[in-house]
Amino acid sequence: MSDLLAARSQMGVSLAFHIVFAVVGIAMPLLMVIAERRWQVTGHAIYLDLAKRWARGTAILFAVGAVSGTVLSFELGLLWPEFMRFAGPIIGMPFSLEGFAFFTEAIFLGVYLYGWDRISPRAHLGAGVAVAVSGAASGVFVVIANAWMNAPAGFTLVAGRVTAVNPLAAMGNAAALSQTIHMTLAAYAATGFAVAGIHAFLLLKDPANAFHRRALEIALLVGAPAAVLQPLSGDLSARHLARHQPLKLAAAEALFRTQQGAPLTLGGWPDVDARETRFAVRVPYALSLLAFHDPHAAVQGLDAAPRDQWPNVPAVHLSFQLMVALGTYLALVALWAGWLAWRKRDLAHHRPLMRALALATPMGFVAVEAGWLVTELGRQPWVIYGVMRTADAVTPMPGLIVPFLAFTLLYCFLGVIVSWLLYRQILRSPALPEWRGFYMPRRAE
């Protein structure tokens, strides 16, 4: 394994591990806030138990996410010193704002965890809202920095040197809006469906359990709208790619030649040497329609660039297909659940829906991982699109396979520990009562 591949692999493994905690950190606080507000309004102790259990889970995942995020920060400087030298003055602002949002989230999460009987109910709920807002803001600022790598802006390049830096223009780059919307919705959809899937699985065994019914209700309230809106944000992202990163779109769709009325490719295996996609199903004119809202528009193919500027077409195409397939499944299940709820059906006793939700438990997170593969692999061979190649950004230090293997083993160990903690602290914490008709008086306002 070359040092470049080892550095890329280490960064990829670190990001793949961290992104799960980042996604949960965005969406999970919203679930606990909704549960607490429901308790304040109804006085039902189920919602209090839900809020406290979800808060414990949020704390565990936040702690591990803070560690893995810190590792990523060090890796940026240690593995990619040329990138940081070039990009640091330009994207320092979103990273600084992300740090501010992170510390805000940490402070108010502490207040939330230890303030149940120490501050007023309104202040406690406000602390939860602050955790939810700052968690979402933290994710947005990181995605803005990544968007700049895909659509660099806010500086002038003179003789290889960066001049006339405008941090606000850098943050307002062409990819920022589409990427932040897409990623934020993905976080709510993935987390909402993961929580809903766990409780749906338990409801298959005990459909009358009020605790799991209420948890399912709140999880779907967060995850279902996000899953339905996600295809619309995907359309926005596709139109951005068609204009600003046409090679990434061409790789995602395995479009080897530029053509008008380009078809949408479903499935298949891209044969790069033969420049064709085998075993694929093609929908005529659909790619042109999605990318430009014109069925006869010309879509740029991979043939528009030299071969050494192509990304890994099979990896990008398969990741994109997986992301779209899983996202479509979540959206369809969300619409199904919404339709049944609109018809006043008892979701917990609808076994086909509960099975579909249980099956969807990991799908949101798999789709997030696949989407980030498309984002990162689709930009190659550039670390800053059109400006700096990845090979020019890596550290000259040899032997990078050693830290790659060490960190991979460390993340595997941490993954096992986190799973055990979540199991013990949430699923195996004191046994649940039946929760049938059990109410707790509302706290005094």
Compute the average pLDDT of residues 63-85.
Answer: 87
Asked, for residue 16, whether it belongs to a domain, the answer is yes
Tell me, yes or no, whether 280 lies in a domain.
Answer: no
Euclidean distance between CA atoms 204 and 434, whole angstroms: 16
Tell me which residue range forms the domain holding 41: 3-226+315-334+347-427
For residue 93, being part of any structural domain is answered with yes
Dihedral (CA of 56, 357, 23, 125) sign = negative
| Residue 74 exposed, middle or buried by CB count within 10 Å (0-12, 13-18, 19+) | exposed
Number of domains in the chain: 1
pLDDT, tens digit, 9 for 90 and up, residues 213-262: 999 999 999 999 999 999 999 889 889 999 999 999 999 999 999 999 88
- Residue 195 located in a structural domain: yes
Q: Which long-range contacts does 154-157 make (Cβ < 8 Å, 24+ apart)?
A: 154/90, 155/90, 157/387
The residue ranking higher by pLDDT, 301 or 162, is: 301
d(CA 117, CA 39) in angstroms, rounded, equals 15
- pLDDT tens-digit profile of 357-401? 999 999 999 999 999 999 999 999 999 998 999 999 999 888 888
Residue 38 lies in a domain: yes
Residue 298: inside a domain: no
pTM over 0.85, yes/no: yes
Q: Are 186 and 23 in contact (CB under 8 A)?
A: yes
pLDDT band, residue 421 (cuts 50/70/90): confident
Structural domain contains residue 309: no
Report pLDDT for 436: 44
Structural domain includes residue 285: no
